[in-house]
Chain A
Amino acid sequence: MLQIACPYCGVRDEEEFRYGGESHVARPGPEASDAAWADYLYNRTNPKGVQRERWLHAYGCGRWFNMARDTITHEVLAVYRMGEPAPDLPGRVR
């Protein structure tokens, strides 16, 4: 069971949240090629190690936020609000 610290509500159990996939995926403009559009829609970094990802506090405040989490250990390394830059995690990014 993950313990996730919602930046608005504090620490809650994993079951209150919904996972929203990789974060910081930038939507290309209307001039984007088919390849760039497919990359945006479907391709993911899918890292083995630290991933920055979106979560929704579905059964809480109902707000989205970002999280840095290790996909091997499941350790939550940082939680930050939408729009905030991803924090540096020196020594952690594999």
Chain B
Amino acid sequence: MKRYSFLTLLGGALTGQRSWRPAWRDPEPRASYDVVIVGAGGHGLATAYYLASKHGIRRVAVLEKGWLGGGNTGRNTQVTRSNYFWPQSAAFYDHSLRLYENLSRELDFNVMLSQRGILTLAHSEHELEGLRRWANAIQINGVDSELVSRAEIARLVPLLNLDGRFPVHGGFIQRRGGISRHDAVAWGYARAADALGVDILQQCEVQGFRRQGNRIVGVETSRGDIAAGSVVLCVAAHTSVLAAKLGLRLPISSMALQAMVSEPVKPCLDTIVLSPVVHVYVSQSDRGELVIGGGADVYASYAQRGGLPVLHANLTALLELFPVFSRLRLMRQWAGTVDITPDTTPIMGRTPFDNLYINCGWGTGGYKAIPAGGDTMAHTIATGEPHPLIRDFGLERFERGALIDEGAAAGVAH
């Protein structure tokens, strides 16, 4: 892999930028692989990268029916944070955040992580009490979080309207929370995995599985059959669709989660502001666009587009908090299909099939989990045992009743 550096940039500048090569190969599928990963989103690519880099398993294919990073990985609002309530979640997401903090160096690809802090607002004294409990739980989990007063919020976010229909009473902030560039995360993992020998097969849709008893021996794809030692599903909201081909039912509901950006403006917002009550969050990208998101649409959908009522609710909530933004034009709006579980905790690990693994159920928050999701899945596949960080995230928790209810900690109600 040709390393990127200031010198390669300078060299490119002196030679008319003609020296650049594609960052990954476009190989033909081989007849068999040790591990076949379905889905070249962040989680699939990261799993492939850590399988190759940490466990020496390099006969790996990542199959993608569209183009890599084109699903939820390229549709989210790029927020990374680890302010979770339950210890299992906090440990997992903080591991992810720590991997993010070193990701640009590890992948030799600038993911543009900006730890600008994520501020959660309380709009009543009761809600502030709730946030205090939440912030304390986060601190006990060993993760940074601090309560901030109304006066501090006014200093931190001068454009925020503190006396709207629901006045701001205070809030809490995780200063290590931030945003990064989601395409760069997908491309960085793809390039690094490809350099280690992983085949990324785009335009290669999995249409079925080949079974021998309780083992999956291969996948049937639009580019022919591929034999597999192990198979991993990293396909978010389509996990139900693929699992149904094996008669496996999952606790997942697929819904649309929309996001939108305004036209670009000069820097005016240097933190992420989130309000669970009026249900919106906003940050400003490096390009100057305001990136706006809220709750998922209310009914099941695979359409990858959001409805107008939720769009309207998101924007009215935003304008309540930031009346000054009413003059901006909306530039783009889109949606991803998210896989929501009953306890809003992901499903990771083994399945009733011997060598089939799943990594799904991320719902509205999978982006921040990409590095840890890949790291722990790779460990699970390589050793056959769930990584300690995901031991409680298994599919069997639903039968045991050992749910990890992060509905509150996800920041916005689902």
Contacts and interface: CB of A to CB of B under 8 A. Distances in A.
Interface of A: 1-2, 14-15, 18-19, 21-22, 34-35, 38-39, 41-48, 51, 53, 69, 71-74
Q: Which of B241, B298, B308, B399 has the most CB of A within 10 A?
A: B399
Interface string B148-179: 00000000000000000000000000000000
Say what secondary structure dominates the interface of chain A.
mixed
Contact of B240 (A35, A41, A45, A74): A45
Interface in B241-261: 241, 244, 249-254
Contacts, number: 69
A69 B309 CA distance: 18
A14 B401 CA distance: 34
B298 A39 contact: no
A14 B251 contact: no
A45 B248 CA distance: 10
16 contacts: A1-B308, A1-B309, A15-B309, A19-B300, A21-B253, A41-B398, A44-B253, A45-B240, A45-B249, A46-B253, A48-B240, A53-B299, A71-B254, A71-B303, A72-B301, A72-B303
Q: Which of A1, A48, A53 has the most CB of B within 10 A?
A: A48
B301 A74 contact: yes
B300 A42 contact: no
A59 to B, nearest CB: 13
A71 B300 contact: yes
Given A1-B308, A2-B307, A14-B307, A46 B300 contact: yes
B303 A43 contact: no
B399 A1 contact: no
B208 interface: no
A69 to B, nearest CB: 8
A38 B301 contact: no
